[in-house]
Structure 1
Amino acid sequence: MPMTLRLSDAEVDALRRRAERENRSMQDVARQAVREYVESHSRAELIDQVLDEELPRYAEALERLGQ
């Protein structure tokens, strides 16, 4: 699905420079950045979810270890 992404002049310049350094298109670099952002945040959310579910189970043991 196509979309329009509006960037500031500074963002366009930075994206252009990065794309030129990597000998890739600006679109390629932007798409990779979006994929990495989504993957990183999805992983962080999963870790938070697991901690929220599992930490209470071990709260007493963790409290004892902290003493």
Structure 2
Amino acid sequence: MSIAKLRKQGSLCPVVLTILVSEAKKLDMTTEYIVKTDDHGTITLIPKVDNLFKNAEPGEYY
């Protein structure tokens, strides 16, 4: 476990979460992530995937 810091960046005030390289080594730097937060302050990064049903045939996922 390590400590991460939040900071504002630029005039539009996006928030940046800085994670140590040792903690981020399991993350793919070319992947976009969906950010989910809960009421307790937990931040979850979920890899964004393309629409899995986009090219599906009717009844394929039943």
Identify whether the pair has TM-score above 0.5, normalized to the shorter chain: no
Q: Which structure has the bigger radius of gyration?
A: 1
The structure with the greater share of residues assigned to helix is: 1
The structure with the greater share of residues assigned to strand is: 2
Higher RCO (CA 8 Å, separation ≥ 6 residues): 2
